[in-house]
Chain A
Amino acid sequence: MQAFWRDTVEFLPILMSGVALTIIVTIGSLLLSTTLGLVWALMRVSGVGVLTGFSAGLINVIRGIPIIVLLFYLYFVMPELGLTLTALQAAILGLGIAYSAYQAENFRAGIEAIDKGQIEAAQAIGMGWWQTMRRVVLPQAVKIVLPPYGNIMIMMLKDSSQASTITVAELALQGKLIASSTFKNTSVFTLVALMYLTMSIPLILLVRHFEKRAGQK
């Protein structure tokens, strides 16, 4: 146990620099996936055949490709096509795109759960499609969407570790590097696990809060 505390003091500063990158990757890809997901979802429910088809197809393609392959593609293949990304950029872009499919399906479910009468009432006072979405449908859909959104945030935090495969020195990669140079696997990976858990706890509490609030209505 004493050895563990000694290791903690020694490795924590290095691991904390990994935590910073983990948070950057998570927040970056969360923002990107939320934006893209909303766009896909709105296209999907637009009622315009081309947009609906494009969005449905895209979501299936994204869902069918493992995140790690998507990351390899962005980081190793794109330079050959003339687009060079830093590891961090590729990680945020890859995770953002990968998760946009799940975000889109979640948003779509929320939008479609809104009573058709609401849309008719909005149309009946002269609102157009976009205004109906913005003023009537989306504000109500948010409540439905939030609990699963919180779960996606937690999954995203953990999946940010996949960025390690394309050299982003986030928490998991820092841990692996320390472990392979010191052989203190137990201390290092226990620390890494505890740090992920610590970051998840606020999110878990947030989900619980969302669920409670959604349950009230």
Chain B
Amino acid sequence: MSHFSAFSLLKHAFFGNKGWTEQWPDSQPKAEYDVIIVGAGGHGLGAAYYLAKEHGITNVAVIDKGWLGGGNTGRNTTIIRSNYLYDESARLYDHSVDLWENLSQELNYNVMYSRRGVLMLAHNVHDVQSFKRHIHSNRLNGVDNRWLTPQECKDYCPPLSISPKARYPVMGGALQERAGTARHDAVAWGYARGAAMRGVDILQNCPVTAIRRHPDGSVAGVETAKGFIRAKKVAVSAAGHTSVVMQTADVRLPLESYPLQALVSEPIKPVFPCVVMSNAVHAYISQSDKGELVIGSGTDQYTSYSQRGGLPLIEHTVAAITEVFPIFNRMRMLRKWGGIVDVTPDRSAIISKTPVPGLYVNCGWGTGGFKATPGAAHTFAWTVAKDEPHPINAPFTMERFRTGRLIDEAAAAAVAH
């Protein structure tokens, strides 16, 4: 596999681009692996990469029912930020942002991490109180996040309407300048290439039908469409399908899978310099490097694996966008799509050992998994390699649902009044 650089681009262009080789091979399964990772999204591929690179474990397979990066990695709105309230979350996401900042160089693959800033809008007094609580907490955690007045919000994001006549006028915003976006596919591909270079097998279109256990209860391997594959350890990173996979090992999780929709507009010349999120009106928007406005919607109310999602939610999402950015009313929606997100009761992830020896799980990312990709992959690899959690993911256990020690970011932004 060739090193990527401007020089290699020039050289290959000169030779008609015929010299490029595959970024990862089309592997066939071996009989046994030290670690099998179920789910070849950014989280799974990243875990394989860090297992190989940082823990010297290279006899690893990443198995996916479809093509790599084809799940939520390739379907999200690519927002990256770390201005979370609780220490546990802030640490995990900030660890991720640290890794994001060097990821292109680390992988020799341009993932286009763009520090364009994420601005979260406050539309009522409760938002203001909540955001200020975040800002103070972030400051003392060493996470950047600062308060902007409505005019400062407008200066930072010119398409924004700060009209006091709006149904929900902007009362200010919290800005994390270090936050931004990245190119989602490149993350999966970069990790895949990096892992493959280090000897990891990537098995695509190979659905895992069951996790098998030894009589003593420990993990034995996985049944797949291509037969049984033995494994010393199995690490599940299957997003919306985690419940289904884990069920086969008799591990039941506090997860529900919901359809989440997103959409893009037709491409336009750069007009939107940052990311804006507005929880109160349910609008999330940025502009891709291609020029499309990338807009996140919410989850439908019912659990589903259909990846379809309904029209009313899209109507509401677009209405929310035009409420905050009225100049986009004549823009056109180009495409909308759906993903399946696995949601925990406290809306925080689980990166944890399980009651089954040798079985690990990284799940429950809900709508926020992309931003965590490097950090989650990094700490998950540690957890699998050492059979104990990294200090950063130690709070993200399964046990917290028994003890009540939840990491409830959503509740902390509670809306009663």
Indicate whether A and B interact.
no
- Which residues of B pack against A, CB within 8 Å? none
